Chain A
């Protein structure tokens, strides 16, 4: 079986810019190994230099045999720190997909890969689902049979989806329009967040369009199902093109934003024109608000918020290479005491940390962050990524919210 290179990606490869050829840059400096939070805590993961540029030289399609690459969480820290621009996390991601293709994807990973399906199935039996997931008696067999760790945080399904709310939400006419890409988690598990995003954007005088939209395919990608992930990403990009091409697309889920901005193209190699177009005008919500502020267009009619909050920037957000825009914007809120938690990763890695065999690793990775939080003892913890919020809340017992919720409160919302 040949490697997947076609069209644009082939050109990239021959120009030495593709994912695999980037391994040529590795000079073994070991910087990535020192930075990888996962290799630091488990013997099962040999580290980014090893599974990335080194093992890649020995991979040969379906014959490849280094299962330990499955212990890479895909957090992307290695790619960010490599001074030689080796696309380590991307190499690993492709290798994982190849291995899964050979071995078959376990039922659990198929489930975790489809939050939209879980959300849809969970909703009609919501009380049962939510009760079951909160009950140790049920979680034991779930761990045994499905492989989701009994202590791992799982979200609760909301009574009404965000889309149901959005369909009835009156559209406010305005000259400047934005498209809101809410993601699956907002739709099924945290519709509250979506409503606040709309409120904050409308407060800026913007018309918010909320097209019907599916999953971005990221969980499929990280669970190794590339073909389905490509289909999802492309379909989503087409749905988000409901508005004309200059309208920005605003995302409140960091991982989904990263998928649209970079990963669908760089890891999955999707070159669909709709995706290319959308990827170039997708913004993280705080990235967009910070831009507004820089243009002097952000409303600053804040009420003081007398709270101490600790902010954790999730890795997918840092991989967007936009700094920490939530900190920049929240710094405008009077009364707020902002503590930056300077840790790379909370350990959950999307769906990584809820898997039975990886839960302990995930907790060990997050240990530093958790103890920082306990020392800071904030009123609230802020984090832009949903899976990270659930994980941190479960591990520390502190309330964890999206920074946008806090901003919403600062604008006087409840």
Chain B
């Protein structure tokens, strides 16, 4: 059965870019539909490192990019504070790093508008006692930790409140054309199996590393090249601020505190297929070893999980093709009307999560030009739902919330302190949510036991509350356990191996999960 919907802007891709475009466009009064092939934030934006860039990482090699980050950093702290932890960051010169680079780094910051303060090695060690005692120079910057799930969902919810429709689990299977105009797209509703045509005045291709494929459906080219980056999460925070090596660039040279874990990253390897990015054992080993340079003992800490993301890299030439409007060096908005003589289609490619708002602004500006309307962007002044401009989240806040309701609220996920009430509320807001979808809202199953103790509770509880029937409960439980297993496979040594054994006994021994009735 084919249904039909209409809107002004159809946004393909529910990562940070697509959600940012939906929010920006909805604020400007457009009717928006946002579709993703999976849940929101399951592409690169949900598999990234978690850094709100201060700009420090780019000051020497890309001052323009650094300036963009620095400005967006200030804006996001204002409008997206609820998704940010104000951790601060350090750049440190270790014995392996060139001392001259530190001078160049410091000299380049002012021009890039990156606030920086040199502090003594002793002060750096006071702030972060586990930092290598061999630190030679240290610089404090305004790095932060940013939760992309919170960010993306608040963009989507904000857009929804302004009338937008959000369609997760709706992959685009075809771009609809009428001569030299794109008129919409055909979506496949994965949950019902139905086809759905969406007619739109303008289609925005915000499919990140997949945007080349979406463009292809319209017969055009967008030359993004996926670049694989690997990250490893460590069981508890080894540092409470972001720590970077002060050097040109390298693998595993930054550790970001993200909620209760420390995350090290990353690498950059060109890949053909953005869906084929599994981390190798060598990559994991190199991350663990690199961690020791910044935080001695890192490699002996318990690694929980490995994941990788596909960077939507934009070769320098791509932006220069045809009439592209080169907005910045790191991202590009492509009006296919100008480049390919195909109206009604705009692609946005490249960029970073930190600059998502700017990318969205540039994209919606282009859409306005395409549709011949003048509406100006207000995302720099309008706080996202839930953000007040100063309510940064802090690690123990969650603990404080939990503490309040502790007595009469059973704990469901022990590692991430998620209560039964939290779970039922999230299930109400995400009615068809799989356990993995709830994970991105609640962080269930993200801690040391990787779902070993919460997954079966969630399946059972939600089945009891009628959210899942028997078949659904068993299927989502199996899928979740499988998904968690995938992330752990590469770190099965020491404590995590012991954990995995215990989890296996629970799921295979006690629950016989592979033979649950369907």
In the bound assembly, the distance between CA atoms of A43 and B448 in angstroms comes to 25
Binary flags per residue of A54-92, CB closer than 8 Å to B gives 1, else 0: 111111110111111000000000000000100000000
In the bound assembly, the distance between CA atoms of A44 and B407 in angstroms comes to 7
Is B386's CB within 8 Å of the partner chain A?
Answer: no
Is A277's CB within 8 Å of the partner chain B?
Answer: no
In the bound assembly, the distance between CA atoms of A365 and B449 in angstroms comes to 31
Contact of A14 among B297, B447, B495 (CB under 8 A): B297
Contact of B395 among A50, A60, A68 (CB under 8 A): A60
Instruction: Tell me the dominant secondary structure on chain A's binding face.
Output: loop
Contact in complex: A54, B395 (CB < 8 Å): no
Contact of A27 among B128, B411, B502 (CB under 8 A): B502
Contact of B130 among A10, A25, A68 (CB under 8 A): A10
Contact in complex: B130, A27 (CB < 8 Å): no
Q: Interface-forming stretch among A15-23, A209-217, A283-291? A: A15-23
Q: Interface-forming stretch among B170-178, B356-364, B397-405? A: B397-405
Contact of B237 among A4, A5, A57 (CB under 8 A): A57
On chain B, the residues within 8 Å of A84 by CB distance are: 495, 498
Q: How far is the CB of A92 from the nearest CB of chain B, in Å?
A: 14
Could you say which of B301, B407, B414 has the most chain A C-beta atoms within 10 Å of its C-beta?
Answer: B414
Is B42's CB within 8 Å of the partner chain A?
Answer: no
Considering only residues 80-136 of chain A, those with a C-beta below 8 Å from chain B are: 84
Contact in complex: A65, B495 (CB < 8 Å): no
Q: How far is the CB of A25 from the nearest CB of chain B, in Å?
A: 6
Is A244's CB within 8 Å of the partner chain B?
Answer: no
Q: How far is the CB of B321 from the nearest CB of chain A, in Å?
A: 48
Contact in complex: B448, A13 (CB < 8 Å): no
In the complex, what residue of chain B is closest to A20 when comparing beta carbons? B236
On chain A, the residues within 8 Å of B495 by CB distance are: 24-25, 27, 84
On whether A13 and B130 interact (CB within 8 A), knowing A57-B235, A57-B236, A58-B417, the answer reads: yes
In the bound assembly, the distance between CA atoms of A56 and B415 in angstroms comes to 10
Contact in complex: B411, A50 (CB < 8 Å): yes
Is B121's CB within 8 Å of the partner chain A?
Answer: no
Binary flags per residue of A9-49, CB closer than 8 Å to B gives 1, else 0: 01001111000110111111100000000000001101001
Is A6's CB within 8 Å of the partner chain B?
Answer: yes
On chain B, the residues within 8 Å of A374 by CB distance are: none
Could you say which of B237, B240, B399, B502 has the most chain A C-beta atoms within 10 Å of its C-beta?
Answer: B399
In the bound assembly, the distance between CA atoms of A59 and B133 in angstroms comes to 24
Contact of A49 among B400, B414, B499 (CB under 8 A): B414
Binary flags per residue of B377-416, CB closer than 8 Å to A gives 1, else 0: 0000000000000000011111110110011000100110
In the complex, what residue of chain A is closest to B448 when comparing beta carbons? A26
In the bound assembly, the distance between CA atoms of A3 and B236 in angstroms comes to 14
Contact in complex: B240, A27 (CB < 8 Å): no
Contact in complex: B127, A58 (CB < 8 Å): no
Contact in complex: B236, A56 (CB < 8 Å): yes
Contact of A24 among B235, B399, B402 (CB under 8 A): B235
Is B129's CB within 8 Å of the partner chain A?
Answer: yes
Contact of B414 among A4, A16, A50, A63 (CB under 8 A): A50
Is A2's CB within 8 Å of the partner chain B?
Answer: yes
In the bound assembly, the distance between CA atoms of A28 and B447 in angstroms comes to 11
In the complex, what residue of chain A is closest to B402 when comparing beta carbons? A66
On whether A55 and B406 interact (CB within 8 A), knowing A25-B495, A63-B394, the answer reads: no
Contact in complex: B296, A54 (CB < 8 Å): no
Contact in complex: A63, B129 (CB < 8 Å): no
On chain B, the residues within 8 Å of A56 by CB distance are: 236
On chain A, the residues within 8 Å of B407 by CB distance are: 43-44
Q: How far is the CB of B58 from the nearest CB of chain A, in Å?
A: 29
Contact in complex: B448, A58 (CB < 8 Å): no
On chain B, the residues within 8 Å of A3 by CB distance are: 129
Contact in complex: B302, A57 (CB < 8 Å): no
On whether A64 and B297 interact (CB within 8 A), knowing A14-B130, A29-B502, A58-B260, the answer reads: no
In the bound assembly, the distance between CA atoms of A177 and B130 in angstroms comes to 44
Contact in complex: A16, B300 (CB < 8 Å): yes
On chain A, the residues within 8 Å of B485 by CB distance are: none
Is B226's CB within 8 Å of the partner chain A?
Answer: no
Contact in complex: A65, B129 (CB < 8 Å): no
Is B316's CB within 8 Å of the partner chain A?
Answer: no
Is B452's CB within 8 Å of the partner chain A?
Answer: yes
In the bound assembly, the distance between CA atoms of A66 and B240 in angstroms comes to 18
Q: How far is the CB of A357 from the nearest CB of chain B, in Å?
A: 14
Contact in complex: A24, B236 (CB < 8 Å): yes
In the complex, what residue of chain A is closest to B234 when comparing beta carbons? A24
Is B169's CB within 8 Å of the partner chain A?
Answer: no
On chain B, the residues within 8 Å of A49 by CB distance are: 414
Q: How far is the CB of A8 from the nearest CB of chain B, in Å?
A: 13
Considering only residues 472-517 of chain B, those with a C-beta below 8 Å from chain A are: 495, 498-499, 502
Binary flags per residue of B446-464, CB closer than 8 Å to A gives 1, else 0: 0111001100000000000
Contact in complex: A21, B301 (CB < 8 Å): yes
Contact in complex: B452, A59 (CB < 8 Å): no
In the bound assembly, the distance between CA atoms of A55 and B129 in angstroms comes to 20
On chain B, the residues within 8 Å of A59 by CB distance are: 395-396, 399
Contact in complex: B300, A46 (CB < 8 Å): no
In the complex, what residue of chain A is closest to B453 when comparing beta carbons? A28
Contact in complex: A65, B403 (CB < 8 Å): yes
Contact in complex: B403, A2 (CB < 8 Å): no
In the bound assembly, the distance between CA atoms of A209 and B298 in angstroms comes to 48
On chain B, the residues within 8 Å of A24 by CB distance are: 235-236, 301-302, 448, 495
Is B126's CB within 8 Å of the partner chain A?
Answer: yes
In the complex, what residue of chain A is closest to B494 when comparing beta carbons? A24
In the bound assembly, the distance between CA atoms of A353 and B130 in angstroms comes to 37
In the complex, what residue of chain A is closest to B132 when comparing beta carbons? A14
Contact in complex: B414, A65 (CB < 8 Å): no
In the bound assembly, the distance between CA atoms of A325 and B366 in angstroms comes to 83
In the bound assembly, the distance between CA atoms of A389 and B515 in angstroms comes to 56
Contact of A2 among B127, B449, B499 (CB under 8 A): B127
On chain A, the residues within 8 Å of B261 by CB distance are: 57
On whether A16 and B399 interact (CB within 8 A), knowing A25-B495, A26-B448, the answer reads: no
On chain A, the residues within 8 Å of B297 by CB distance are: 13-16, 21
Q: How far is the CB of B84 from the nearest CB of chain A, in Å?
A: 15
On whether A60 and B302 interact (CB within 8 A), knowing A13-B130, A28-B449, the answer reads: no
Contact of A68 among B260, B296, B403, B417 (CB under 8 A): B403
In the complex, what residue of chain A is closest to B295 when comparing beta carbons? A14
Considering only residues 282-330 of chain A, those with a C-beta below 8 Å from chain B are: none
In the bound assembly, the distance between CA atoms of A64 and B398 in angstroms comes to 10
Q: How far is the CB of B353 from the nearest CB of chain A, in Å?
A: 24
In the complex, what residue of chain A is closest to B303 when comparing beta carbons? A24
On chain A, the residues within 8 Å of B301 by CB distance are: 16, 21, 24
Considering only residues 329-355 of chain B, those with a C-beta below 8 Å from chain A are: none
Contact in complex: B448, A60 (CB < 8 Å): no
Contact in complex: A2, B126 (CB < 8 Å): yes
Contact in complex: A27, B399 (CB < 8 Å): no
Q: How far is the CB of B470 from the nearest CB of chain A, in Å?
A: 27
Binary flags per residue of B236-276, CB closer than 8 Å to A gives 1, else 0: 11001000000000000000000011000000000000000
Contact in complex: A58, B398 (CB < 8 Å): yes
Q: How far is the CB of B443 from the nearest CB of chain A, in Å?
A: 11
Could you say which of A27, A43, A49, A67 has the most chain B C-beta atoms within 10 Å of its C-beta?
Answer: A27
On whether A66 and B502 interact (CB within 8 A), knowing A27-B449, A56-B236, A59-B396, the answer reads: no
Contact in complex: B499, A23 (CB < 8 Å): no
In the bound assembly, the distance between CA atoms of A21 and B240 in angstroms comes to 15
26 A-B residue pairs with Cβ-Cβ distance under 8 Å, sorted by A, are A2-B129, A2-B240, A6-B129, A10-B129, A10-B133, A13-B297, A15-B300, A24-B235, A25-B302, A27-B495, A28-B453, A54-B415, A54-B417, A55-B399, A57-B236, A57-B260, A58-B260, A60-B237, A60-B394, A61-B240, A63-B397, A65-B397, A66-B396, A66-B400, A66-B403, A68-B406
> Which 3 A/B pairs are nearest by Cβ-Cβ distance?
A14-B297, A65-B400, A24-B302
The residues of A with any CB-CB pair to B shorter than 8 Å are 2-6, 10, 13-16, 20-21, 23-29, 43-44, 46, 49-50, 53-61, 63-68, 84
Q: A27-B502, A28-B414 are in contact. List 9 more A-B contacts (CB 8 A).
A: A2-B126, A3-B129, A5-B129, A14-B296, A14-B300, A16-B300, A21-B236, A57-B261, A66-B402
